[in-house]
Amino acid sequence: MEVWYLDVSESGFNKVFDSCKCFLQSADLERANKFSFEKDRVLFLSGRLVLTAMLFYKLQQEFSSSQQKHSFLEISKKLSSEFKSAYGDFRFNISHHWPWVVVGLDISYDLGIDVTVIEKPLENDVALLVEELSFQLHENEHSILLNLFNQSDIKATVELLCKIWTSKEAVSKLLGLGMSMEYSKIYVKLEEEMRGSLLVCDMESQLKWVVLYKQLEFNQCISVTSSRFKNSIEKLDDYNNSLKFNRTNFS
């Protein structure tokens, strides 16, 4: 499994888009034009371009010189049957939060990925954010966050909140539930954090997911989980070895 992440603000998007838009489906372009804000349009199209570049890379094809207009990316977020028949059953997931676009790609295993940026990591803003999200947090998570905040450790509070939130988002995306999942009923076992991983538990079903994360800055985090990962951290080294984080650009 590979995760590519891109800082769109550094990518020279417009120049790249003009030369690479032939690789996108007309449905992608039509959808992008419906966004009200330019940043949302750029994030969406960048995600599709990064995914396309990853597929070319995995298939050892030259992204920049191909003359064929590839139409194997469907707006339904699945790869077309023609593509699967020719190249294999790739699975992918995309997340973005300005300025980051993050794309995960695997063969045969479903995955969920999330990137979160807490844009105002100041004391008053963090206090308000923790309270606004309290109904989405397990009581233990909320208690630990409040304890850190009350110790005036704002940086640690923000860093932990990023890990918690991206972990829950990654699990919900793996399961295809999105915000319909009751986040307060899944618990990030912070006491079992180990070498860039967390264990996330459903308090009702007792299902568990290993989530691997990468901290970009104290207020920015990527988390990814997969059906490839079993429900314990006993094989953590195997999971870490199966995952590659790659920072990329459009150059």
Rg of the chain, C-alpha, whole Å: 19
pLDDT of residue 90: 84
Over residues 107-112, mean pLDDT: 89
Q: Highest-confidence range of 16-25, 32-41, 62-71, by mean pLDDT? A: 32-41
Mean pLDDT of the chain: 84
- What are the structural domains of the chain? 2-108 (3.90.470.20), 116-234 (3.90.470)
Whether pTM > 0.85 for this model: the answer is yes
- pLDDT tens-digit readout, 180-204: 788 998 999 988 777 788 999 998 8
